[in-house]
A and B are shown apart, each in its own frame.
Chain A
Amino acid sequence: MSEVSVARILITGTPNSGKTTIFNRLTGLHQHTANFPGVTTSVSRGRIRWQKSSGHCLEAECLDLPGIYSLYPDTPDEREAVQCLRHALSLPGPQCVVFVADPTTPHRTVHLLLHLQEYIHIDLVVFNFWDVAEKEGISFNEKAFVRLFGPHLRYCFHNPRNHVHLRTIRNALASILEAKSHEPFRHPLLQATLQESPDTRIARSTALYRRVRDAANEIFPQKTSPFSSPINPKDKVFLHPFWGTLIFFGFLFLIFQAIFSWTNWPMRGIEWLFSRLSAALHTVLPPGPLTHLLADGVVQGLSGILVFVPQIAFLLFFLALMEESGYMARAVALMDRLMRRFGLSGRSVVPLLGGAACAVPSILATRSIPNPRQRLITILVIPLMSCSARLPVYTLLLGLLLPDSKVVGLDVRGLALMIMYLLGFCLAVGAAWLFSRMIPQGGKDYLIMSLPHLQRPLPLVVLSKTWVGLKAFVLGAGRIILFLSVILWVMMHFGPGDLGIGPKPSADPAQRLKESWAGYAGRLLEPAIRPIGGDWRIGIALVSSFAAREVFAGTVATLFPPPPGQPLRSHLSSLQSADGRRIFSPATCLALLVFYAIALQCLSTVATVHQETRSWRWPLIQFVIFMMSAWLAAAGIYRMADFWGLSV
C-alpha cells in the first residue's frame, strides 16, 4: 500500500472517555493515560495489523485525538484535535472514524455524536466504561439508539478492566476498512466551525440539546431519585477547604516518607550488587586500563544512577495512584484559588504536579489551559518543580547532609525531601507571580472542569505506568551515564603529559588526576564553582549534569570511586580536600541542593519550551534567569552556612 493511500483510523470522543486506553490496546503502545480530562494533549499515532485467514495482511494507521466537547475549540489541544480531524479526512484512502463514548455522561456523549455527524461520517461507536455504567444503573435501549442515529451506525461495548471486547472492536474495524472503497464523507462547514462566535455556538448547542435531552434519557435509561443530593460523599471530604487540603498535604507527606523509609533495603541491595560486580570484574579480568574502565568507570557510573530506581519507582507509583483514582482533578479544584493569586490557573496544577515526574510531558499538558498567558507562565515555571531527575541528586546530598535518624517516628531525610519538593512548588508559584507582572494580560480564563469518577485504581494499570516511567528513566539516564562515564574515565586517566605536551604523568594517583584532562578542565571551572563551596571535581559533576540532572550522582560516583565494599555515601562523607575541609561539607551540600532546586539543567526541557512557545526568546529568558538565580542563591546559602561554621 502506498504512503498516500494508507488506511486510517481516527479515534475521537469527549475528554476522559477512555480513547487512549482503547488506542493503547489496539496498537500495543503505552501512551500516557489517567483518570481526568485533558491528559491527551497531542495526536498520538500507532499501527494496527490484521492477519487474514487468506494470508492477506491489512494494516492501518491509528490516530488518537485529544478529547473535544464540540468542533469549536477553546484550548490548544482541542484546536489540534479539530485540525487533525479535518486534515486526516481530506487525505485519500479508506478512513474509519471511531467515536469513544462514555455512557455515564449520556447527554454530553449524544450531543457530541450528533454534532459530529453533521460534518463527518462516524463509522463505529464504542461504549466504553460499560461496567461503571451498569453499576450506576444505566442500561442501553437499542431501538432508541437506532431511531436517533439510523440503522447503519455500528456500535460495540468495551470494559477497560478486561480485554473481552477488544477482539470485537478489532474485527469491526477490519470489516469497516475492507468495505470502504468510497471517499469519506466531507462537509465544507467543518472548516467554518473553527470561527463560530459564542452566540452561534450557544444557539447550535441549545438547539441540539433540545433533541439530545429526551433522546439521551431514552437511549441510556437510568433509575435515579429526582430530588436526592447526587454529590459523592467522598467528594464532600476531598473537596472540603480544610479536610481536603489536609488530605492533599497528608498524601504528599506519605509519598516522601515512603520514598526514604521503604526504599532503604532495595537501595542497599543494589549498592551491594554493584560493589560485588566491580570486585568480580577486578578478579576475573586481567589488570589493565580496560578492566579499570569497566570496573571503576562504567560500573560505578551505572551504580550511581540505578541505586535510585526504588525511590523513583515509589514516586511514579504514587503519582499513578493519584491519576488513576481520579484524585488529581480534586487537587486541581483545591488549588485553583491559590494558583490564581500567583497568575496561574487551577488547570496549571496538573502540569505542575506532573512536573514532579518529568517536566517534558508536563509542558505538553499545558495545552489544556485555555488562557495563552496562563499557559505561558505555567510552561515557564514547570522546570522549578522537583522532577524525578532531581530525586537522585537530592537523595545523595540529603544522605550526606543529614543523619539516618527518626524524629517522632518520622524519617528526617524524608521530611527534608518533602521540604525540597515544597521549596520547588513555592519557587514555581513565586516565579509565576513575577512572570505575571512581566507578561501583559491577554485571553479569557475560565475553569469549567468535569470531575472524573473516583475509582479504585487497577493494580495492573498502576504498575504498568510505573514500569513505563521507570524504563524511560533507566534507559534515558543509563545511556547518558554510560557515555559520560567512559569520557570521564578517559579524561581522568589521561592528560597532556601522555601526549608529551606537559609534565610527565605522575605515579601518585592524586597528582595524576590533577594533571589529567579532567583536572585541567575542572580548574578552568573552579572560579565559578568555588563561591558555591565546590572544588573542581564537583564542577565537572555540575557541568556533566547539563545533559540530564540525574547524571550528577553517576558522575560523582565515577569521580570519587568508593573502595570495594564501601557504600558511596559513607565514602563521600569521609572525603577531605587538601586544606582538611570535607569536600561534601554541610555548607556545600546545602548550596548544591539550592542550586539543583533552581537551575535549568535539562536540554529536553529547553527544547520542549521552544517547541511549545514557538520561539527561542522564552527558553533563553528562562535559562538565563534560572541559572543566574541558582548560582546567586547557592552562593548566598554557602556564605551563610560558612558563617555558621558548616563548611568544615
Chain B
Amino acid sequence: MKQRANWREKLRNGWYRVASIQPSVEAARLTEMGLAPGSRVWIATQAMPFGLIYLHTSDGALIVREEELKDLTLEPEYTP
C-alpha cells in the first residue's frame, strides 16, 4: 500500500521507503540530504513539536515540517 504523506494524513511511527518525489525546491533539498527515491527512512510523528516530523535516515536525524513531505510518496516498510 502506498501512502501519500501530507499534513492531512497522519503517518504512523515506523520505517518507510521513499517511492517517488514530485519536483520542488524542498524536495530537491531533501534528496540532497539523503531522501532520494529508494532510501529508507524512520518517521516519527508522535510526541514531536507541533507540525514537525522527525526523520531518521542513514545519515542521522532530520526535522522537517509536515508540508515538506507533501511531494514524497512513501511506502510503509515496517510499523511496530
A residues apposed to B, CB below 8 Å: 69-70, 72, 74, 104-109, 111-112, 197-199, 201-202, 205-206, 209-210, 213, 216-217, 226-227, 229-232, 235-236, 239-241, 244, 329, 332-334, 336-337, 444, 446-451, 453
Contacts and interface: CB of A to CB of B under 8 A. Distances in A.
Contact of B49 (A216, A217, A241): A241
Contacts of B29: 69, 74, 446, 448
A202 B25 CA distance: 9
Contacts of A74: 25, 29
Interface string B54-80: 101111111111001000000000101
A451 B31 contact: no
Contacts of A210: 36, 38
B28 A231 contact: no
A241 B52 CA distance: 10
Contact of B23 (A111, A202, A230, A450): A202
B32 interface: yes
A213 B39 contact: yes
A229 B31 contact: no
Given A111-B32, A240-B48, 8 more contacts: A69-B29, A107-B39, A112-B32, A213-B38, A239-B48, A239-B49, A333-B48, A450-B62
B19 interface: no
Contacts of B5: none
Contact of B37 (A206, A230, A240, A333): A206
Contacts of B24: 198
- Count chain A CB atoms within 10 A of each CB in B24, B28, B51 and give the residue with the most: B28
Interface string B16-35: 00000101111111111110
Contacts of A227: 15, 78, 80
B13 interface: yes
A448 B62 contact: yes
Given A69-B33, A448-B26, A231 B56 contact: yes
Contacts of B13: 229
B1 interface: no
Q: Is the interface of B mostly helix, strand, loop or mixed?
A: mixed
A239 B63 CA distance: 10
A230 B61 CA distance: 9
19 contacts: A69-B32, A107-B34, A108-B32, A108-B33, A202-B21, A202-B23, A202-B31, A205-B28, A205-B36, A206-B21, A209-B34, A209-B39, A210-B38, A229-B44, A241-B48, A336-B52, A446-B68, A447-B64, A448-B62
Contacts of A108: 32-34, 59
A231 B61 contact: yes
Given A230-B56, A336-B51, A446-B68, A201 B32 contact: yes
A231 B57 CA distance: 10
The 9 closest A-B CB pairs, nearest first, are: A209-B36, A105-B59, A451-B61, A201-B28, A205-B31, A69-B32, A199-B23, A230-B56, A337-B50
B23 A198 contact: yes
Contacts of A229: 13, 42, 44, 80
B61 A70 contact: no
Contacts of A198: 23-25, 27-28
A111 B48 CA distance: 29
A426 B3 CA distance: 40
B36 A446 contact: no
A232 B61 contact: yes
B68 A201 contact: no
Contacts of A444: 25-26
B51 A337 contact: yes
B70 to A, nearest CB: 11
A231 B44 contact: yes
B30 to A, nearest CB: 6
A289 to B, nearest CB: 62
B62 A231 contact: no
A337 B49 contact: yes
A448 B31 CA distance: 11
A350 to B, nearest CB: 13
A230 B43 CA distance: 10
B60 A334 contact: no
A52 B34 CA distance: 43
Given A108-B59, A230-B42, A447 B54 contact: no
A252 to B, nearest CB: 17
Given A235-B54, A448-B64, A240 B47 contact: yes
Nearest to B28: A201
A446 B58 CA distance: 22
Nearest to A329: B63
Contact of B60 (A236, A244, A453): A453
Contacts of A448: 26, 29-30, 33, 62-64, 68
Contact of A451 (B23, B36, B51, B62): B62
- Count chain B CB atoms within 10 A of each CB in A206, A216, A217 and give the residue with the most: A206
Contacts of B31: 201-202, 205-206, 209
B42 A202 contact: no
Contacts of B54: 231, 235, 239, 451
B58 A333 contact: no
- Count chain B CB atoms within 10 A of each CB in A107, A334, A337, A444 and give the residue with the most: A107
Nearest to A229: B42
B63 A451 contact: yes
A71 B1 CA distance: 36
Contacts of B28: 72, 198, 201-202, 205
